[in-house]
Amino acid sequence: MLATVRRMGELLEGMDPLDIAECERRCLPPWQIVQNTDDASVAKAFGAIEIGLWDLRGKAWGQPLHLLLGGKVRDAVPFTEYFAFREGRETGPEAVAEHCLAMREAHGSTLFEGKLIQGDPLLEIRTVKLLRRALGPEPTIRLDSNMQWSLPTAIRILREIEPYDVRNYEDPVATFEEMAALRRHSSIRFSSHVPDLRRAVALGTPDAIVVNFAVLGGIGRAVRFIGACEAMGVDFWCYSGDAGVCTAAYLHVSAAMPWIREPSQSLFRWQLGDVIEGGPFRQKNDVVQVPDGPGLGVCLDHEALACWHRHFVDHGPLDHFHDPAAPGRMRRLPLG
C-alpha cells in the first residue's frame, strides 16, 4: 500500500490538485477494471489521497467541505459509544453494563454498539439481556459479530435477543446469502462492511452499508455511493477506528447528506493516538460538532504525526489483532 501511494505521488507531480477527476484518471484504471481484478488496495490508496485533495480544495477556497458538498443539513453528527469484553477491563456481562452506564453518566451517551463474540452464544445472550435491563428501554443497542456466527447459531442468538430491542446487528453471519436466510427468522436490522450494493438490493439484505471513504475510493465516490444507497432504500453510516483526518471527512459528509440518518460508529475513547490538533474527536450527548474551518476543518499535529511515523517505521502497521501479552495468539476482536 505504501509503495502504491508513493507511485501515485509521482504520477500526480505537476498536476492541478483542484482537478480531482483528472488526478483520479492518472492514478486509477477504469473502475470496472478495479472491481474485476478484486484488488481494493489501489482504490484505498487513492481514496486516502483524494480526501487530502478535498481538504486542499476547501482550504484554497476558504470554504468548509460541507459547503463544497452543497451545505449542511445538521450541525452535529451522532456517534455510538463502544463496548466489548476487554482483558483487564470489562471481562464479563456485568462489567460491560457498568462501562455503558459510566459512559452515560460521564458523557450523556445513549447510543451503544459493541462486539460480544467470545465463541459462547449464551454469553452474548446474557450480556444483551443485562445491558437492556441496566440501560432501560430508551438507549440504542447495536451489535457486531465480525461474521463469526454460523447461520444456525445466529438464528438461535437473534431469537433470544430480539425481545430486548437490538437496533441493528452488523455482519451476524459471513455472507449476504446467509443474512437473507437469517432474515426469515428475525426482524432485527442487519448491516455490513461489504459495500456490495447490487447484491444487497437483489437479496433484500443487509439494510445498511458501513464503510470508510477510502474503501470507496474517496469522498467523491462516497457521495455517489451514498446517493445510490438512498435511491435503493439502503441505509449508510460510517466506519469506526479511523484517525482524525478521516473522521473529519465523515463529519462533513454526514452533515451534508440527509440520508445518513443513523449514528456512525466510533472508537474515540479507545483510540491510542491521533494526528490532528486537539484529537481524537470525542462525542458529548451522543454527537460531535461539525468543524467549520476551511477544508476538513482540522490541522495536522506535526509532532504527533512524527511520533506515529516513527512507530510505523520501527514496528510496521498497527496490528489490532496481535496481543503483546500473548505472543503467537491473535485476538478475536480488532481493538486497541
What tens digit of pLDDT does each residue of 266-279 get? Answer: 999 988 889 999 88
Query: What phi and psi, each to the nearest 5 degrees, are found at residue 64?
Result: -70, 155
Q: Is the pLDDT of residue 309 over 90?
A: no
pLDDT in the model for residue 327? 66
Q: 162-190, pLDDT tens digit by residue?
A: 999 999 999 999 999 999 999 999 999 99
Distance CA 120, CA 101 (A): 24
CA distance 33 to 29: 6
> What is the end-to-end Cα distance of the chain in Å, rounded?
22
pLDDT higher at 75 or 2: 75
Q: In sequence order, what are the residues at sequence separation of 6 or more whose Cβ sits closer than 8 angstroms to the Cβ of residue 97?
A: 127, 130, 131, 134, 135
Query: Which distant-in-sequence residues (6+ apart) come within 8 Å of 60 by Cβ?
Result: 18
All three cell numbers of 236, joined, read 449508510
3-state class (DSSP) for residue 68: helix
Residue 197 has pLDDT above 60, yes or no: yes
Strand partners, 170: 144, 191
Query: Residue 205 and residue 161: Cα distance in Å, rounded?
Result: 19
Inform me whether the pLDDT recorded for 75 exceeds 60: yes
Q: pLDDT tier at 2 (50, 70, 90 boundaries)?
A: confident
pTM score, two decimals? 0.91
Banded model confidence at residue 94, pLDDT cuts 50, 70, 90: very high
In three-state secondary structure terms, 299 is: coil
Amino acid letter for position 175: T
Question: Under the phi-then-psi rule, with left for phi > 0, alpha for psi from -120 to 50, and beta for the rest, what region is 62?
Answer: left
pLDDT higher than 80, residue 103: yes
Q: Are strands 235-238 and 287-289 parallel, antiparallel or unpaired?
A: unpaired
The predicted pLDDT at position 294 comes to 98
Mind giving me the DSSP string for 119-143?
Answer: S-HHHHHHHHHHHHHHH-SSSEEEE
Local confidence band at 336 (pLDDT 50, 70, 90 cut-offs): very low
What grid cell was written down for 97?
Answer: 453494563
**Cβ atoms within 10 Å of 327's Cβ, excluding its own:** 7
Helix, strand or coil for residue 291? Answer: coil
Q: Which of 133, 137, 199, 195 shows the shortest CA–CA distance to 165? A: 137
Cβ atoms 23, 12 nearer than 8 A: yes
Residue whose entry in the numeric block shows the C-alpha cell 490538533: 277
Retrieve residue 56's grid coordinates.
486542499
Percentage of the residues of the chain whose pLDDT score is greater than 70: 92
